[in-house]
Amino acid sequence: VFRRDSDVTHAPMFQQVEGLVVGRGVGLGHLKGTIEAFLHALFGPQYPVRFRASYFPYTEPSVEADLGCIVCGGSGRLATGSCRICKATGWLEILGSGMVNPAVFEAVNARLGRVVYDPEEITGFAFGLGIERVAMVRHGIDDIRLFYENDLRFLEQFAS
């Protein structure tokens, strides 16, 4: 994946894990429940999850999921000052998601030359999150660029 921005929490190139659920009766509640369960399994149930409206081109509605910051405990502050991971908000944007836009199903049908997914009957949700973001949160790393600078002092902390 490539993105234009690059800072302590965003890399211009990153690896992404994606999820897709498609079927009859799949709704926004299923999306939210799945993401909450997924994030609690990854990070622990003690960290709250919240959802904010967003925009992604293939989902409608689209939402971003935020996790209560593991580094500062959701306070936005550290003993040394503001938390750089959550940018002093107490929340960390962890993944993007949304309900599959019916136009996506129509495009699949057009590509296949037959109706496989009737958007009147079939719905779905999708989500994606960067692997580096998960590693940052789990290990309290406050600068994503450390993964790419090849500093052995940093990398040797994770030797198996």
pLDDT in tens, 124-136: 999 999 888 888 8
pLDDT of residue 138: 81
Name the pLDDT band for 8 (thresholds 50, 70, 90). Answer: low
Q: For 18-38, what is each residue's pLDDT tens digit?
A: 999 999 999 999 999 999 999
Residue 15 has pLDDT above 60, yes or no: yes
3-state secondary structure the chain: CECCCCECCECCECCEEEEEEEEECCCHHHHHHHHHHHHHHHHCCCCCEEEEEEEECCEEEEEEEEEECCCCCCCCEECCEECCCCCCCCEEEEEEEEEECHHHHHHHHHHHCCCCCCCCCEEEEEEEEEHHHHHHHHHCCCCHHHHCCCCHHHHHHHCC
